[in-house]
Amino acid sequence: MSIRLKIGKQKLLLFLYFGGIITAGSILLSFSHYSGSGRMYYIDALFIATSAVCVTGLSTIDMTLLSRMGQFFVVLLIQFGGLGIITFSTIYLLAPRRRISIITRGLASDYSIPSIEFRTRNIIAHIITWTAVFELLGTLVVLPVLLEHGYTLFDAVFHSISSFCNAGFSTLRSGLESFRDNAVMNIMTMILIICGGLGFIVLQDIVRNLSGKKQHLSYHSSVVLRTTAALILSGAFLIFLLESNNAFKGMGTGSKIMASFFQSVTARTAGFDTVPQADFSSASQFVTIMLMFIGASPASTGGGIKTTTFYLLMLVALRFREGGGMLVDRNRTIMPHSIVKATAILVRAALIVLVTTTVILIAESARGNILRIETVVFESVSAFGTVGLSIGITPHLSTISKLALIAAMFMGRVGLFAMALPVSALSPEKYAKSPEADILLG
């Protein structure tokens, strides 16, 4: 019973941590000068704070009209949110005089590789180092380009942090749309997005493999890399095929290819765009919705149901045979609890999107604002997946609809993880077996 209470406290602390940052950020932002109206309404400040901490990028205001101090608050919130669950777990582990329990060690193992599974100080050092290295590299690469276009060092730092943290916020006029054909900005931004979305586990594993400390990548890293590559390539191919004579009409072949890859990469939780989302066909928007829903990888700065969940569900759909009893992939046995967990994540994610979409449709219909269902689904999935891509309806939504999106962002970023916190191995259910249920499926 005491262990169950402790798990409850961990979940409570998780919500208080993120909720506290969002609340503090919203208060600070509400006092920030905004050129659009002098000061932001609190609902907009709360929306931006939630979007920043949940590294979503959806916005109800024009970020370029926010004061430098306000933009500074936003980038701090992005940084805290970018480290996200990893930051929470490691700070919790290193709290003064706190003993590390078996449950907490299990939580830490989700953010480390086996060789440093219990060395929490090393985990923190790796997280901070990787974050600093990538964000510094991104800043140095994009700075000359931005200086040439009249921007400052602050804009370069902001863009680098926002890219690596998969946030999608931008202080650039027209975002990246004015840099659509700039290879340096496009490629560097995509590299930051991909690396931020792979997860620290995979990044460490790759380095250990390249340095000779390991001979092979872990099964987890292999799944993440193969799934990520497949999603990016298939997404880019489909978007190129669908938009060559539509949204990309008039562009050169090289620009079309780069724009296709950028859309495929950014849809998996980044939120930047080089071509307005409203310009894409319904088919491409559907492809984008699927990529947003899948999202990035575990222990990363991105959201969504995660690449590993999608991979496992595809294995179940394509390889599971009734009566087989187990699922084997690349000489590895997939444990039944992993399949159940993946299914639970999918259902919970679908419910979040369904409820959010329903609330927005009802709220907007009540005020005479009739929206197309596919447009609302796009916005809802973008919020849940903490992506930030928008067809343009967010700033014009009612307070109720904005609150629905705020809840979707929070649940997509924090809620699913809280639900996945480990259950005590000493739970009484472990030793009690209930009668088997007879139910017809399929």
Give dist(CA 30, CA 21) in Å, integer.
14
What is the model's pLDDT at position 150?
A: 92
Is residue 116 included in any domain, yes or no? yes
pLDDT digits (tens, 9 = 90+) for 281-310: 999 999 999 999 999 888 787 888 999 999
Is residue 121 included in any domain, yes or no? yes
Is residue 356 included in any domain, yes or no? yes
DSSP track, 343-400: HHHHHHHHHHHHHHHHHHHHHHHHTT----HHHHHHHHHHHHTT-----S-GGGS-HH
Is residue 44 included in any domain, yes or no? yes
Is residue 431 included in any domain, yes or no? no
Is residue 429 included in any domain, yes or no? no
Question: Strand ranges (DSSP E) for 25-162?
Answer: 33-34, 38-39
Q: What is the domain count for the chain?
A: 1
Pull the structure tokens for residue 60. 């109800």
Give dist(CA 164, CA 143) in Å, integer.
15
Q: 290: how many CB neighbours lie within 10 A of its CB?
A: 16
Is residue 162 included in any domain, yes or no? yes
pLDDT digits (tens, 9 = 90+) for 426-440: 444 455 566 766 665
- pTM for this model (two decimals): 0.85
Domain extent for 73: 2-423
pLDDT digits (tens, 9 = 90+) for 336-371: 778 888 898 999 999 999 999 999 999 999 988 888
Lowest mean pLDDT segment, chosen from 118-122, 268-272, 383-387: 118-122
| pLDDT > 60? residue 6 | no
Please tell me what DSSP assigns to residue 328.
Answer: E
What is the model's pLDDT at position 56?
A: 85
User: Average pLDDT, whole number, for the chain?
Assistant: 82
What is the model's pLDDT at position 118?
A: 46
pLDDT digits (tens, 9 = 90+) for 184-218: 999 999 999 999 888 877 888 888 888 877 778 88
Residue 321, burial from CB neighbour count under 10 angstroms (0-12, 13-18, 19+): exposed
pLDDT digits (tens, 9 = 90+) for 16-58: 878 889 999 999 998 887 776 567 788 999 999 999 988 888 8
Is residue 117 included in any domain, yes or no? yes
- Three-state SS for 168? coil
- pLDDT, average across residues 72-91: 74
